[in-house]
A and B are shown apart, each in its own frame.
Chain A
Amino acid sequence: MSEQFYYFLQQILNGVTIGSTYALIAIGYTMVYGIIGMINFAHGEVYMIGSYAAFFVLAGLAMLGFDSLALMLIAAFTLSIVITSAYGWSIERVAYRPLRGGNRLIPLISAIGMSIFLQNFVRLAQGSRDIAMPSLISGGWVIGPVDGFNVTLSYMQVIIFVVTFISMSVLTAFISKSKMGRACRACAEDLGMANLLGINTNKVISITFVIGAALAAVAGVLLSMYYGVINPYLGFMAGLKAFTAAVLGGIGSIPGAVLGGLLLGITEAITAGYFSSEYKDVVAFGLLCFVLLFMPTGILGKPEVEKV
């Protein structure tokens, strides 16, 4: 195999890694949009809080002398999901629910306010400098020729693939098979009708926020370990990227969010690999503008179902 092929393969691997975490975050945007038609601009901050929760659990356990990696990871995921879900739930209760039913712009402004508030809340509580994550997982597999370019698949990347895959599978099973998942889909189609069937739609909306936050927490744990540093501002960029992914795939569509995330991740990685990593954000947001201008429903955007 040629060197170019290995180099390309490496970019794809890196792209899928980042892309799958974008997808996890994007699902939160898309589900909330699907059900209440609003962009939760504080979602990036929810992800950031998930990263901080992971840091505290991992650093705390490391300090206490724990050395079981599996236990530490399970604790990090569990606690981060619980804490972050509590944030997701509260944000909806405090900042969005009281404003529902009125002008659509108002919750949007509230969301931006919430985003700024959370960012500064973490900045004041934890400082604005980068915090280094304890490095627990290093190394990986190297594939390729003895001399020339080698493909590295790090253990961390493998963990990201596996955990993302598990999360998505659980979500898919929940949405397509469970009673509550069916209610979520029904509410996304016609909230008022669900209400007329006796469904407590407020509860379903809360569950949607909690699911989105939990998936963002998973992404937060994974990416903080992958990059090794966290700071209070990382939610902003990640949030924008995931939003781009959601729009690219077709906002409101869960498979769209996954596809959009992967496409965006790969596009970024290719840009960084063949041009310059400084251009990857330009390309990402250029893509966002392009999609918004020329295909606002995205790739898998809701096909209009005819109402007879």
Chain B
Amino acid sequence: MLELRNVSAHYGQIQALHDVNIQVGKGEIVSLIGANGAGKTTLLMTICGDPKASQGEILFEGEPIHLQSTSQIMRKDIAIVPEGRRIFARLTVEENLHMGGFFLDDKAEFAHLEQEVYSLFPRLLERKHQRAGTMSGGEQQMLAMGRALMSKPRLLFLDEPSLGLAPIIIQQIFDIIEKLRERGITVFLVEQNANQALRLSDRGYVIENGRIVLEDTGANLLTNEEVRKAYLGG
């Protein structure tokens, strides 16, 4: 479904990604783990076209997308829950969701999808008319996920969805990721919370200093000595 071939990316003169090769198959949950500053966010954002890949190819369902603009790429059944959530704080919850479904022209489908998001996140329905910025961190994370789902993605990027949240909320978020898989959505997940992420994942990649250093099934990575030491606290 998604394939990166020898992708590099730069911020100005600084190279943030080196020769990255990644594949995400249809229906998979794939995790990317790595330390702070390793380049996880950069990798996701490069797929979204910001920054543009300075080298290599990115294919979505066989189509090269690395030369397209961010807005073109994101109109292709790809959605992202970005680092820091980036909900529109001054818009209401409902308006945020509608921004997600901006390009869904079929009214019936739109209403159905909205229904589905509200059933996945009942909290959002309760707070439909509340300004998004006044919601709690967990609620905002759910809103960011709901907003992404409103575009009816087949490939979903999640950049540290559990960051800064209470364990119980984190559990909810991971449960929902599991549900998304059941609905046929392919998930590419960036997590600091490597333990939980890998348990859920079919496969995982480990990134260090902008390079992919390890690739294996989720189960294998969980038992991998080095991964345990570096990312799972021993």
CA distance A120 to B135 in the complex (A): 52
CA distance A193 to B96 in the complex (A): 11
Asked whether A195 lies within 8 Å of B90 as measured between CB atoms, the reply is no
Chain B CB within 8 A of A170 CB? no
The size bracket of the interface on A is 20 to 34
**Residue ID in chain B nearest A193 by CB atoms:** B86
B11 to chain A, nearest CB (A): 13
Chain A CB within 8 A of B170 CB? no
CA distance A256 to B186 in the complex (A): 45
Asked whether B71 lies within 8 Å of A200 as measured between CB atoms, the reply is yes
* B residues contacting the other copy or chain, number (CB 8 A): 31
User: Given A186-B88, A186-B99, A190-B88: A195 and B71 within 8 A (CB)?
Assistant: yes
Which residues, 119 to 161 on B, are CB-close (under 8 Å) to A? 133, 135-137, 140, 147, 151
User: Given A306-B133, A308-B136: A196 and B88 within 8 A (CB)?
Assistant: no
**Residue ID in chain B nearest A306 by CB atoms:** B133
B117 to chain A, nearest CB (A): 15
List the A side residues contacting B135 at CB < 8 Å: 308
CA distance A305 to B91 in the complex (A): 11
Asked whether A194 lies within 8 Å of B133 as measured between CB atoms, the reply is no
Asked whether B140 lies within 8 Å of A197 as measured between CB atoms, the reply is no
List the A side residues contacting B70 at CB < 8 Å: 195-196
Asked whether A189 lies within 8 Å of B91 as measured between CB atoms, the reply is yes
Asked whether B98 lies within 8 Å of A199 as measured between CB atoms, the reply is no
CA distance A190 to B89 in the complex (A): 9
CA distance A308 to B95 in the complex (A): 19
Which residues, 17 to 38 on B, are CB-close (under 8 Å) to A? none
Which residues, 264 to 279 on A, are CB-close (under 8 Å) to B? none
Asked whether A197 lies within 8 Å of B100 as measured between CB atoms, the reply is yes
**Residue ID in chain A nearest B73 by CB atoms:** A198
**Residue ID in chain B nearest A192 by CB atoms:** B50
A193 to chain B, nearest CB (A): 4
CA distance A308 to B136 in the complex (A): 7
List the B side residues contacting A200 at CB < 8 Å: 71
Chain A CB within 8 A of B180 CB? no
Asked whether B50 lies within 8 Å of A197 as measured between CB atoms, the reply is no
A271 to chain B, nearest CB (A): 35
Which residues, 142 to 197 on A, are CB-close (under 8 Å) to B? 179, 182-183, 185-186, 189-190, 192-197
Chain B CB within 8 A of A110 CB? no
List the A side residues contacting B86 at CB < 8 Å: 190, 192-193, 196
User: Given A182-B99, A306-B133, A308-B136: A196 and B90 within 8 A (CB)?
Assistant: no
CA distance A197 to B81 in the complex (A): 10
Identify 18 new A-B residue pairs, CB closer than 8 A, beyond the known A197-B100, A198-B102, A305-B89: A179-B98, A185-B88, A186-B91, A186-B95, A186-B99, A192-B50, A195-B50, A195-B74, A196-B70, A196-B80, A196-B82, A197-B74, A197-B147, A197-B151, A198-B75, A199-B71, A307-B89, A308-B137
CA distance A192 to B45 in the complex (A): 11
Chain B CB within 8 A of A90 CB? no
**Residue ID in chain A nearest B100 by CB atoms:** A197
Asked whether B91 lies within 8 Å of A196 as measured between CB atoms, the reply is no
Chain B CB within 8 A of A78 CB? no
**Residue ID in chain A nearest B70 by CB atoms:** A195
List the A side residues contacting B74 at CB < 8 Å: 195-198
B45 to chain A, nearest CB (A): 9
List the A side residues contacting B222 at CB < 8 Å: none
Chain A CB within 8 A of B48 CB? yes
List the B side residues contacting A297 at CB < 8 Å: none
**Residue ID in chain A nearest B86 by CB atoms:** A193
Could you jot down 21 A-B contacts, CB within 8 Å?
A: A185-B90, A186-B91, A186-B95, A186-B99, A189-B88, A189-B91, A190-B88, A194-B99, A195-B50, A195-B70, A196-B70, A196-B82, A196-B86, A197-B74, A197-B102, A199-B71, A199-B99, A199-B102, A200-B71, A307-B89, A308-B85
Chain A CB within 8 A of B64 CB? no
A31 to chain B, nearest CB (A): 14
Which residues, 178 to 231 on A, are CB-close (under 8 Å) to B? 179, 182-183, 185-186, 189-190, 192-201
Give per-residue flags for A276-308: 1 if the beta carbon is below 8 A from chain B beta carbons, else 0: 000000000000000000000000000001111
